[in-house]
A and B are shown apart, each in its own frame.
Chain A
Amino acid sequence: VVGRPLPKVDAHAKVTGQTLFADDLFLPRMLHAKVLRSTRPHARIVSLDVSAARAVPGVEAVITGRDLPIRFGILPVSQDEEALCIDKVRFVGDGVAAVAAVSEEIAEEALERIRVEYAPLRGVGSIEAALGDPLGSRHASPFDAGAPHEPIHDYGDGVGLSAPGAPAADGPPVAGNGGEGAGAGDVGARGDGHPPHLDIHKLVALEFGDVDAGFAEADRVREDLLFYGGSTHLPMEQHAALAHATPDGKLTLWTSTQTPHYVHRALAKVLEMPASRIRVVATPNGGGFGGKSDPFAHEMIVSKLSLLTGRPVKICLTREEVFYCHRGRHPVLMWVRTGYKKDGAITAMHFRSWVDGGAYGSYGVASTYYTGALQTVTYRVPRYRFEGVRVFTNKPPCGPKRGHGTPQPRFALEVHLDRIAEELGLDPAEMRLAQLQPPHSLTANWLRIGSMGLGECIRRVVEASGWKEKFRKLPYGRGIGLACSSYLTGAGLPIYWNDMPHSGAVVKLDRGGGVTVFCGSIDIGQGSDSVLAYVVAEVLGVDWRDVRVVTADTDLTPIDLGSYSSRVTLMTGHAAAQAAERARDVVARSASRKLEVPAGRLVFADGRVFDAEDPERALVFDEAVRLAEAESGTIACAGSYAPPRAPGRYRGAGVGPSPAYSYTAAVVEVEVDPETGVVRVPKAWIAHDLGKAINPLLAIGQVEGSVYMGLGEALMEEMDYRESRNVVHRHPSLLEYKSPTTLEMCDVETFLVEDPDPNGPFGAKECGQGPLLPIPPAVANAVYDAVGVRVDEVPISPPRVLRALRSGTRRSGPEHAPRVPWPEPIRVPTPWEGGDGRAAGEERGSRGARAAGAVRAAVATPPAIENVPGAER
């Protein structure tokens, strides 16, 4: 089964329209909920009168923030969301009140009767505005001019920073397209008096090894400043949820979520109900991509409305509301400085991120760390410093989108490296091949690398694309670009700290030969149900179509943390394999006695249990199950999985570790119209090291889907706001938010590189997110190859390309970055400096430090960089 291109277990249901999504569910006496949303980006709620709405015939309940006063959020450190705003609203689209009525039309009519009085506060629409940068002040809004400033939140790392004696701001150099930093500009607080640190949510500063010494060893140093625009997931299925509170005091919520377990926890908290009385069933997601990974206000709202009315209550968000839920790609401004040798070897890297968080925390603290975590896993980076800041702005909250926090820095890094290769006169593919991070090694920031097939990936796309014949050789207007990347196969740590498994599965064998696997994971279209069936069928040697999969129901299935961070195939795969192996052992015990063959010689395959040395000595599978059930009782075996402990022990080490890392290389060919700046992408070649393809057909589908989404981000998709018009979203619609159609999609030639990882089930690593990452930088590098200009900002839109073509600097991109009061970094010695995974000065000898020592012994080759005397800077 494993390794074969089989159909998905839900293929027939999907193509015949039988799949029941959350909005397809109807219960008798069901009510419909609608949410009144803020029309102000930042304002105090002065008064809220819902009495007229309550009086509308057909309205059964109206609630406001005071009915659900407990805050929630996905991360324990960012419990900053309210189901409905109580005292103030933080973006246009924030929920204020909710209605349950017998029809959607009546609910809408009731919303029109609700009176809200707002006292406007100054809205913050950009990173610059949030940090008090003068560039941020150009967006004076006619709606809130004169309104008072107030922090968007009353918590965050900015609190107290504005006080005298706070660390001095340290502006990064202005980047041109050359290699020289021009020094910090004189950037003061902006003219309208916005205190500069009011809206800082998170500040991060980490240093691994002596970075200054690393720069001193370099032959050359290069700096670049780049920007990656925010984009959203755009799932076809709008979020929907149906809640049903029953007279026995229990509540069931069916919801299109990627994380039923986290929704379960948040519901228990917000509703002040024991988790044991709440059942969360995740319905098949019509696309997730990270956009359904948070506990959402509408899930709390329908639950509360059902508890109040005793009737089932459903909501299906409108498309506009899906844009307001967002949690998509953070806009990130990035500055990267790298010291390198003449052969392209990196001596030190310094990376800074300015992260536009939107109105709430969401996953943002993790996202911020992710913008600095994976720079080290592709090429040798012996010394590394990362500083990141996330700011709150009055826009829909950002969070995890496919690649969570890593496509932005990957774009910056791969474009930066393309320039370094050019400066050195090296072929970018050859330069990368010479600097690969070794397999089974540790990185400077204490990430443990397992299998590493990036070299093979590069060689495959270079050969297939005709790279050598095309690079810098195509006619003007046509170009080719290369980029590489890596991604996690599951986050090493859960969202909330605990020592329990990340994934569990139960395999139950039926007397008729049927097999059922119960698992908390939710299929969001990636095929996780199918993977469960394949893995269990492989272990038990049965037809995969005889395996029934029951998933994502907190009452029925063991825990799985959710479909995020590309964790499902690896973690549920291990749990399901373990459960199936245990069930197989029960069957094998009885079969061994019956067949008089040692259990170790029994083979489970083709629906039979037989002697490896005498295949005719056999039982059919259901016969073997009946025998075992008679001897051992009901056969239902559990398996579970928790990732290995990560060696990093410093504060912030929780983001980045993973059981295994996937690797990708892509080559993209473009055609650029120099008169219009329009970029067309005829073809992409992409090679992805996924360890082992459990199902190559689904894996290729994931790779092609990633290329599609990456192409959209590279060329056109952007969450864009009118900062001077109450920070409204420019185009919260499927028509005007531009995402590629089949006509814009390029041909894709996919190569699956199988470098099995010891930590993956059957050697498997992820393939659902990583392949997105190299696409935007490969497009940018190809545009440079085509017309000789650098577009250092995503999306690479026609106006930006044309601006670069007309510009004296042959570049379009950010010119300037706001000042930030970066804190003193946490200094962590690298593995090759004798570190133990802890920050300098922290105590040794703990459990974690010993574990780190054990891993360090396995480090293959610490990337030693020779100092070349007299090398010029």
Chain B
Amino acid sequence: MMRLPPFRFLAPDTVEGALRVKREAGSAAMYVAGGTDLFPNMKRRHQTPRTVISVRRLRELREIREDGGWLTIGAGEILNDVAAHPRVRAAWPAFAHAVESISTPILRNMGTLGGNVLLDTRCTYYNQNLDWRRAVDYCLKRDGTVCWVAPASPRCWAVQSADTAPVLAAIGAEVTLLAPNGGAPAARRIPAADLYRDDGIDYLAKHPDELLSSVHLPPPDGSRAVYLKLRRRGAFDFPVLGVAAWGRFAPDGTVADARIVLGGVGSHPIPVPAAARLIGTRLEPDVAADVAEAARRPSRPLDNTDFTLSWRKEMVKPYVERALRQLADSASSSRP
């Protein structure tokens, strides 16, 4: 990697101040929290903000509290604290598991929940040094005109790689975004699933000036979730497939509602429509196999992560099956 390019570093004390300086600095400014994604990206010249606004001093972003049955987690909470928090672990062990599967313990001491939720999409044509990208005449996501993953396609196919995203979408979590608004910031709360867009470049439905302040986990109310992560090694690696499965169970043990969301196999967390077929079942093996087979269809792995794309596509089925098996086990173990 190259050295960091020169930039101005601001560390406001208040949310209002952060929003104001961001609006003043415009598109040449970016927020940074832990910096574990942005700074390496800046060294590779993916992002070259002239102003970097740290949100680490914003107290409002550092909290974990109950809020009408929901669990609100400040976006500035570091990942290890989130994963270790007793309430998080009790309410949504699958979410805690997703958080503690991110990167390495050392990076989880720096990286924040908000940073992972908003993680830049990744691609082996994009996450390369400047010289390397020059050798392929750059790519659509930065400085170029062609998406080398699919040269005939008009869009960018960089991969959604945050472990938290599919889980948040599956369990029906919400996020709060703050926007500059003269005095007190304007807050909007939207479903986490709506935060993401199916485009490698324009991957967030968040205005660049908006600040992600918190993530809200719903009350479990008898529902369960599972997250399975496929990657080459047991640490460091981003997911090449993430499977988040969520189910609400009726008192008789049948599935009242269910969602499956895939990570790492497209530019956004991909919902699996076939999950609806689980409703009314007890996640019997043949039902799980049928849904798992159908889950392959919406996945769009391409040749831009570790492993071959055909193998990743094939892995959707066994991983969804395994996720549903674990979901069934966790549901039955929790019943008297």
- Are A744 and B233 neighbours in the complex by a CB distance under 8 Å? yes
Q: Which residues of A contact B135 (CB under 8 A)?
A: 38-41, 92, 726, 728
How far, in angstroms, from A726 to B135 measured CA to CA in the complex?
7
- Are A743 and B235 neighbours in the complex by a CB distance under 8 Å? yes
How far, in angstroms, from A38 to B134 measured CA to CA in the complex?
10
A105: Cβ under 8 A from any B Cβ: yes
How far, in angstroms, from A796 to B125 measured CA to CA in the complex?
25
- Are A320 and B129 neighbours in the complex by a CB distance under 8 Å? yes
B148: Cβ under 8 A from any A Cβ: yes
CB distance from B153 to the nearest CB of A (A): 15
- Are A726 and B136 neighbours in the complex by a CB distance under 8 Å? yes
Q: Which residues of B contact A320 (CB under 8 A)?
A: 1, 129, 131-132
Residues of A within 8 A of B (CB): 37-41, 92-93, 104-105, 108, 142-143, 318-320, 675-677, 716, 722, 725-726, 728-733, 735-736, 738, 740-741, 743-744, 797-799, 802
Q: Which residues of A contact B306 (CB under 8 A)?
A: 731, 736, 738
B124: Cβ under 8 A from any A Cβ: yes
How far, in angstroms, from A93 to B125 measured CA to CA in the complex?
16
- Are B136 and A725 neighbours in the complex by a CB distance under 8 Å? yes
- Are A675 and B232 neighbours in the complex by a CB distance under 8 Å? no
Residues of B within 8 A of A (CB): 1-3, 6, 124-125, 127-129, 131-132, 134-137, 148, 151, 232-237, 306-308, 310-311, 314-315, 318
How far, in angstroms, from A39 to B135 measured CA to CA in the complex?
4
The contact of B311 among A319, A738, A799, by CB within 8 Å, is A799
Which 3 A-B pairs have CB atoms at the shortest separation, nearest pair first?
A743-B234, A799-B311, A39-B135
The contact of B314 among A728, A732, A744, A802, by CB within 8 Å, is A802
- Are B132 and A728 neighbours in the complex by a CB distance under 8 Å? yes
- Are A743 and B233 neighbours in the complex by a CB distance under 8 Å? yes
Q: Which residues of A contact B124 (CB under 8 A)?
A: 730-731, 736
Instruction: Jot down 11 A-B pairs with beta carbons below 8 A, ordered by A.
Output: A37-B131, A39-B135, A108-B3, A320-B131, A716-B233, A725-B136, A740-B233, A741-B234, A743-B233, A744-B233, A798-B307
How far, in angstroms, from A824 to B314 measured CA to CA in the complex?
48
**Most chain A beta carbons < 10 A, residue from B125, B233, B310:** B233
- Are B307 and A318 neighbours in the complex by a CB distance under 8 Å? no
A802/B311 contact (C-beta < 8 A), A40-B135, A92-B135 known: yes
The majority secondary structure among interface residues of chain B is loop
The majority secondary structure among interface residues of chain A is loop
Chain A: CB-nearest residue to B125: A725
Q: Which residues of B contact A738 (CB under 8 A)?
A: 232-233, 237, 306
How far, in angstroms, from A353 to B245 measured CA to CA in the complex?
49
- Are A104 and B233 neighbours in the complex by a CB distance under 8 Å? no
How far, in angstroms, from A741 to B132 measured CA to CA in the complex?
26
- Are A39 and B134 neighbours in the complex by a CB distance under 8 Å? yes
How far, in angstroms, from A17 to B143 measured CA to CA in the complex?
41
How far, in angstroms, from A37 to B134 measured CA to CA in the complex?
11
Known: A92-B132, A677-B311. 11 other contacts (CB 8 A): A38-B135, A39-B131, A39-B135, A93-B131, A142-B151, A320-B129, A676-B318, A725-B125, A726-B136, A728-B135, A741-B234
Q: Which residues of B contact A92 (CB under 8 A)?
A: 132, 135
Q: Which residues of B contact A798 (CB under 8 A)?
A: 307, 311
- Are B236 and A735 neighbours in the complex by a CB distance under 8 Å? yes
Q: Which residues of B contact A38 (CB under 8 A)?
A: 135
Chain B: CB-nearest residue to A716: B232
- Are B3 and A104 neighbours in the complex by a CB distance under 8 Å? yes
Chain A: CB-nearest residue to B303: A722
- Are B132 and A105 neighbours in the complex by a CB distance under 8 Å? no
Q: Which residues of A contact B315 (CB under 8 A)?
A: 676
- Are B3 and A319 neighbours in the complex by a CB distance under 8 Å? no
How far, in angstroms, from A92 to B136 measured CA to CA in the complex?
10
A732/B235 contact (C-beta < 8 A), A319-B1, A676-B318 known: no
**Most chain B beta carbons < 10 A, residue from A142, A318, A736:** A736
Chain B: CB-nearest residue to A802: B311
A105/B1 contact (C-beta < 8 A), A736-B306, A798-B311 known: no
How far, in angstroms, from A38 to B131 measured CA to CA in the complex?
8
- Are A318 and B136 neighbours in the complex by a CB distance under 8 Å? no
CB distance from A613 to the nearest CB of B (A): 62
CB distance from A738 to the nearest CB of B (A): 5
Q: Which residues of A contact B234 (CB under 8 A)?
A: 741, 743-744
Chain A: CB-nearest residue to B6: A105
Q: Which residues of B contact A735 (CB under 8 A)?
A: 236-237
How far, in angstroms, from A729 to B129 measured CA to CA in the complex?
11
CB distance from A721 to the nearest CB of B (A): 11
Chain B: CB-nearest residue to A732: B132
Q: Which residues of A contact B310 (CB under 8 A)?
A: 799
How far, in angstroms, from A740 to B237 measured CA to CA in the complex?
11
How far, in angstroms, from A741 to B232 measured CA to CA in the complex?
10
CB distance from A731 to the nearest CB of B (A): 6
Chain A: CB-nearest residue to B318: A675
How far, in angstroms, from A726 to B136 measured CA to CA in the complex?
7
How far, in angstroms, from A733 to B237 measured CA to CA in the complex?
12
How far, in angstroms, from A732 to B44 measured CA to CA in the complex?
13
Q: Which residues of B contact A722 (CB under 8 A)?
A: 136
- Are A105 and B136 neighbours in the complex by a CB distance under 8 Å? no
CB distance from B60 to the nearest CB of A (A): 33
How far, in angstroms, from A105 to B1 measured CA to CA in the complex?
12
How far, in angstroms, from A731 to B129 measured CA to CA in the complex?
10
Q: Which residues of B contact A676 (CB under 8 A)?
A: 315, 318
How far, in angstroms, from A273 to B282 measured CA to CA in the complex?
82
How far, in angstroms, from A730 to B132 measured CA to CA in the complex?
10
Chain B: CB-nearest residue to A105: B3
How far, in angstroms, from A318 to B132 measured CA to CA in the complex?
13
How far, in angstroms, from A142 to B152 measured CA to CA in the complex?
13
Chain A: CB-nearest residue to B135: A39
How far, in angstroms, from A799 to B306 measured CA to CA in the complex?
11
CB distance from B63 to the nearest CB of A (A): 32
The contact of A728 among B1, B136, B151, B232, by CB within 8 Å, is B136
**Most chain A beta carbons < 10 A, residue from B129, B135, B232:** B135
CB distance from A102 to the nearest CB of B (A): 13
CB distance from B52 to the nearest CB of A (A): 17
How far, in angstroms, from A40 to B311 measured CA to CA in the complex?
31
- Are A741 and B129 neighbours in the complex by a CB distance under 8 Å? no
CB distance from B145 to the nearest CB of A (A): 13
Q: Which residues of B contact A731 (CB under 8 A)?
A: 124, 306
A318/B236 contact (C-beta < 8 A), A725-B136, A726-B136 known: no
Chain A: CB-nearest residue to B5: A105
How far, in angstroms, from A738 to B125 measured CA to CA in the complex?
17
CB distance from B299 to the nearest CB of A (A): 15
- Are A741 and B311 neighbours in the complex by a CB distance under 8 Å? no
How far, in angstroms, from A41 to B136 measured CA to CA in the complex?
11
How far, in angstroms, from A39 to B125 measured CA to CA in the complex?
14
CB distance from B196 to the nearest CB of A (A): 23
Q: Which residues of B contact A93 (CB under 8 A)?
A: 131
Q: Which residues of B contact A733 (CB under 8 A)?
A: 127-128
How far, in angstroms, from A737 to B3 measured CA to CA in the complex?
21
How far, in angstroms, from A729 to B234 measured CA to CA in the complex?
24
CB distance from A695 to the nearest CB of B (A): 32
CB distance from A483 to the nearest CB of B (A): 24
How far, in angstroms, from A534 to B314 measured CA to CA in the complex?
56
- Are B232 and A108 neighbours in the complex by a CB distance under 8 Å? no
How far, in angstroms, from A726 to B308 measured CA to CA in the complex?
19
CB distance from B216 to the nearest CB of A (A): 31
- Are A741 and B307 neighbours in the complex by a CB distance under 8 Å? no
How far, in angstroms, from A168 to B3 measured CA to CA in the complex?
54
Chain A: CB-nearest residue to B322: A675
How far, in angstroms, from A736 to B234 measured CA to CA in the complex?
14
